Amino acid sequence: MKTANALPDPETLLPLTPAVFNILLALAEGEKHGYAIMCDVEEATDGSVRMGPGTLYGSLDRMLKAGLIEESENRPIEAQDDERRRYYRLSEFGLRLLKAEASRLSKAVRLARARKILSPA
């Protein structure tokens, strides 16, 4: 079994695509199914990032393969559950990558503020 040390340095995978970044950000709140991720991303970005089912599941597939997210086995209570849904959660590596990307973006925002492109917070 491979150890966590064999994982790539998150810095080498930056910058992330908007879809991947927003999905990771949505899953940072906790486990979610596909539709909840889609709604969360749309709401968080004020509708500027609208993912269709193809974009969402294409990204989820690549993120699962890259070890950024995991499929969760926890299911809601039977009355609220739908067997056609799968739940996803952030992996430890995914969280590290999300932090690295957020830090990169934060540096960019600080630079923009310093150069008076953005007004101070």
- Chain residues that interact with other proteins, rule: CB under 8 A: 1-4, 6-9, 12-13, 33-35, 38, 50-58, 60-62, 65-67, 82, 84-86, 91-93
CA–CA separation, 72 and 31 (whole Å): 7
Indicate the residue among 76 and 106 with the shorter CB distance to other proteins: 76
Give the strand pairing for 87-90 and 32-33.
antiparallel
Indicate the residue among 80 and 119 with the shorter CB distance to other proteins: 80
**Is the preceding omega at residue 18 within 30 degrees of 0, hence cis?**
no
Asked whether 71 and 88 are in contact (CB, 8 A), the reply is: yes
To other proteins, the closest distance from the beta carbon of 87 in angstroms equals 11
Indicate the residue among 13 and 102 with the shorter CB distance to other proteins: 13
